């Protein structure tokens, strides 16, 4: 697979979003999830995105992290080449979701993620979602502390606007390597954040790059050009979508979610799909 850069690491141009394997009501059994992760690794994917909050229940925080760790432990390839990215600061409650960007919480969450992943240092640790109750610079300062303590190798932020990206970059410097925001054909409002990342040399990791769980079929309904171009290349509209995102900027590394081996293998193939300027113009 072709590669792109996160910090000083080269990773496959397509990553794996592991969240669908831990969503209540949709999650497959553990055996299928492990086969899915192994299929991704075998296809050349070397970036796996998870989070402590990816869990079917607030009583099982870290479920997805433990699943990723188990799959890696059972894989016969070179796990040292795999960058595992996790997140903290988006919390699970009996009623759903909340946020906690306090430094004390992030320190505790990072320690919990270290244990769940079974590592001494997390490859890429991302602040999951801004907390309006906590000054952003305090939250980002906690990431700096975690990096300087050796608990994380790289820092990232998620769901951040351009001003927050610049503030985090001012505080973290080269420690900050990535921004993870939603971006897809149906959600294009992160265009300014992509441009800031390109300016600052940060990787941009689109979450829900195919539209979100259960919504990938909308590519067919919303834009016939995806279907027509896919048919012309003999590929799926999902591959065209990911290739369109890769063409947006060399800093973009999509992380499509998957819970079946065949799905992520199809997505991985998008790394080698080249679209013409005319095709990209048709896709908008």
Active site residue 54: yes
Backbone angles phi, psi at 155, to 5 degrees: -115, 145
Whether the Cβ atoms of residue 124 and residue 157 lie closer than 8 Å to each other: no
The catalytically annotated residue of 54, 105, 125, 136 is: 54
Alpha carbons 37 and 53: distance in angstroms, whole number: 19
The token pair at 133 is 């109750």
Pairing of strands 16-17, 47-49: parallel
* Residues labelled catalytic: 54
């Amino acid at each position: 697979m072709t590669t792109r850069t996160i910090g000083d690491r080269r990773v496959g141009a397509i990553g794996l979003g592991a969240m669908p394997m831990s969503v209540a009501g949709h999650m497959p059994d553990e055996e299928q999830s492990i086969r899915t992760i192994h299929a991704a690794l075998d296809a050349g994917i070397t970036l796996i995105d998870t989070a402590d909050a990816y869990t079917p229940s607030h009583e099982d925080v870290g479920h997805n992290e433990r699943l990723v760790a188990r799959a890696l432990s059972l894989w016969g390839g070179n796990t040292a080449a795999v960058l595992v990215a996790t997140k903290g600061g988006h919390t699970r409650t009996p009623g759903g979701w909340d946020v906690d960007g306090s430094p004390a919480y992030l320190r505790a969450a990072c320690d919990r993620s270290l244990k769940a992943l079974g590592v001494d240092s997390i490859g890429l640790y991302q602040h999951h979602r801004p907390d309006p109750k906590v000054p952003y610079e305090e939250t980002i300062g906690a990431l700096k502390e975690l990096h300087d303590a050796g608990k994380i190798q790289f820092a990232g932020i998620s769901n951040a606007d351009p001003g927050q990206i610049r503030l985090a970059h001012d505080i973290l410097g080269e420690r900050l390597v990535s921004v993870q925001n939603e971006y897809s054909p149906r959600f294009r409002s992160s265009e300014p954040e992509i441009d800031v990342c390109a300016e600052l040399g940060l990787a941009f990791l689109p979450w829900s790059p195919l539209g979100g769980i259960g919504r990938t079929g909308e590519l067919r309904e919303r834009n016939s050009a995806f279907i027509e171009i896919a048919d012309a290349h003999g590929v799926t509209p999902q591959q065209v979508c990911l290739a369109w995102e890769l063409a947006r900027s060399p800093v973009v590394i999509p992380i499509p979610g998957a819970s079946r081996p065949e799905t992520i293998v199809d997505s991985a193939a998008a790394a080698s799909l080249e679209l013409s300027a005319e095709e990209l113009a048709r896709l908008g």
